[in-house]
Amino acid sequence: DVVLTQTPPTLSATIGQSVSISCRSSQSLLHSNGNTYLHWLLQRPGQSPQLLIYSVSRLESGVPNRFSGSGSGTDFTLKISGVEAEDLGVYYCVQGTHAPYTFGAGTKLELK
C-alpha cells in the first residue's frame, strides 16, 4: 500500500502568517492516464473532512484562493498564504492513484 507521510504533525501559526504542509508518498502518484490523484482535505473540529485541493493543484469550488497546492511524483505541498481563524483544524493528504486509496496521518493547524 502507498504510505503518505505528512510533516509537520502540528503547526502553530498566527493569523496572517503563511504556512506549508508537506506530503511525501512512498511511490509515484502519477497515474497511467497522466493524472496525479493527490488531494488535500481539511477537517475542522467536530466536522467531516472537506475537499480543498484536488489533483495536486486544482482549487475546489468555493475554497479561498489563499490555499494552493503544488508538487509532482512523490513530493507535494499545501500552502496557506495568510492563515485565517477558519483555517484551523487537521489537514490530510489523500491519494486516489493506487488502490487501496490511502490518507496521510494529518497535520493539525493551531493558533500560536
Partner 1 sequence: QVQLKETGPGLVQPTQTLSITCTVSGFSLTSYYMQWVRQTPGKGLEWMGFIRSGGSTEYNSEFKSRLSISRDTSKNQVFLKMNSLKTEDTGVYYCARGVQDFDYWGQGVMVTVSS
Site for partner 1, rule CB under 8 A: 31, 37, 39, 41, 48-51, 54-55, 60, 92, 94, 96-97, 99-103, 105-106
**Closest separation in Å from C-beta 37 to partner 1:** 4
The CA R_g of the chain, rounded to the nearest whole Å, is 13
**Closest separation in Å from C-beta 42 to partner 1:** 11
Q: On the CB side of 108, how many CA atoms lie within 13 Å of its CA?
A: 6
Complex with partner 1: residue 88 or 96, whichever CB lies closer: 96
